[in-house]
Amino acid sequence: MRSDMLHTKIDELMKMMPWIEDYFSSFAIDPVQFGDKRLEELGQIIGEEYFEEKGSSYPDFIDGLFLFIEQVRALQQGSRFTIESLTVLPGHNKNGGKEAFSVELKKGEVTAIVGPTGSGKSRLLADIESLAQGDTPTGRKILVDGRAPGDEERFSTEGRFIAQLSQNMNFVMDLSVEDFLTLHAESRMVDEIYHIVQKIYDTANILAGEPFSRKTPVTELSGGQSCALMIADTVLLSPASVVLIDEIENAGVDKVKSLELLVSNNKIVLISTHDPLLALSAYQRLVIKNGGISKLLKTTPDEKKHLKSLEKIDRKISHLRDQLRTGEEIDLSDLLV
């Protein structure tokens, strides 16, 4: 591979690995200027004295370049690391009563978390997000692929495989949607940045109730638009294998399409919800009572049959909601059809 790259023109290398520009920049070399030259010719063209002034040499420059390529490729492979399952080991409820069973969460499946407001649904999401090891108020422990996670997995911000999406996504950087996505794509060192940015943007507009422009500042996005953007970003760019969502029905996005998108990308998905359509769309649902997991219910075939009726009702309500938003007159008889 090394020999082949040395005989390759620099502009061709840039097309294959655009991120190597960062390495050239560390030596104050503009690769575009030498794009039509082969990598092996660079030392002779620039001259050994130039590299000596930088405290290096041309052979060291080449060795460093190939080490940089190996490290970035290792990072890219690591970002594709996936989690097959999470296991929630029993903790206790608010009264100290022991939870009766453990729960296994597998990739490609949606688990709904249901229960009254204040029952502890968000606490369960927080336990999973932090990969709790008996050090949270519930005493639960979370296993990753059957093992206890190490401190680096729990506390490091690098390579996090859990993404949490809430009803209110607050951006602090005043960037356009395009610049925000481009910055994220560059940080992931992905190829074909323009293509992935366009795909995320198009997908987000499919999920959002109100379309937005690539030039829209992220700080001006509505709650639904922000949530749609982050769902699309999480699915198409983020390395997260686990996605936690708190009451997506209140976020103003197409909730059914959002779940379908997440599941189609083999994510482990947990969603806290009061929505019967979402609850019955899940593979299983956890019932939370008094801060503890009281039941684990698999969605039955009979419940699945009711989904079509629920979907029809939901579409009608969504249509009425759109009519209200656009100032149209409402005919409630549509609900009876």
Rounded Cα distance, 120 and 115, in Å? 8
Per DSSP, what are the bridge partners of residue 104?
87
Q: Walk along the chain (337 residues) and give the pLDDT tens digit of each residue.
A: 677 888 899 998 888 888 788 888 888 899 889 999 999 899 899 998 898 888 889 899 998 888 888 767 665 555 445 788 999 999 999 999 999 889 999 988 899 999 999 999 999 999 999 999 999 999 999 999 999 998 877 876 655 788 888 766 667 677 999 999 998 888 777 778 889 999 999 999 998 878 899 999 998 988 888 888 988 998 888 878 898 988 777 667 888 788 888 877 788 999 999 988 889 889 999 999 999 999 999 999 988 888 888 888 887 877 787 777 778 887 766 655 5
Same domain, 74 and 91: no
Kindly state whether residue 305 falls inside one of the protein's structural domains: no
pTM for the model: 0.69
Relative to beta strand 110-114, strand 103-106 is unpaired
Q: Which of 55, 79, 103 is the last residue of a domain?
A: 79
How far is it, in rounded angstroms, from Cα 91 to Cα 235? Answer: 31
CATH, residue 147: 3.40.50.300
State residue 119's pLDDT score.
92
The verdict on 70 and 17 lying in the same domain is yes
Residue 23 in domain: yes
Instruction: Give yes or no: residues 196 and 324 share one domain.
Output: no
Domain residues for the domain of 281 are 86-161+239-299
Which residue in 86, 5, 272, 9 sits closest to 164, CA to CA?
A: 272
The total number of structural domains in the chain stands at 4
Residues 231 and 243 in one domain: no
Instruction: Examine residue 304 and state whether it is found in any structural domain, yes or no.
Output: no
Verify that 99 and 140 share a domain, yes or no.
Answer: yes
Angle between helices 223-236 and 255-264 (to 10 degrees): 10
- Asked whether residue 150 falls in the same domain as residue 245, the answer is yes
**Domain assignment of residue 184, yes or no:** yes
Query: Is the CB of residue 256 less than 8 Å from the CB of residue 311?
Result: yes
Predicted pLDDT at 85: 92
Question: Are residue 248 and residue 336 in the same domain, yes or no?
Answer: no
113 in any annotated domain: yes
One domain, residues 8 and 62: yes
The CA distance from 21 to 16, in Å, is: 11
Does residue 75 share a domain with residue 7? yes
Whether residues 243 and 227 fall in one domain: no
Last residue of a domain, one of 192, 216, 235: 235
Of the candidates 231, 221, 232, 254, the one whose C-alpha atom is nearest the C-alpha of residue 321 is: 254
Domain-embedded: residue 104: yes
Does residue 277 sit in the same domain as residue 337? no
The predicted structure's pLDDT at residue 200: 93
Of 79, 99, 132, the one marking the end of a domain is: 79
| 52, 177: one domain | no
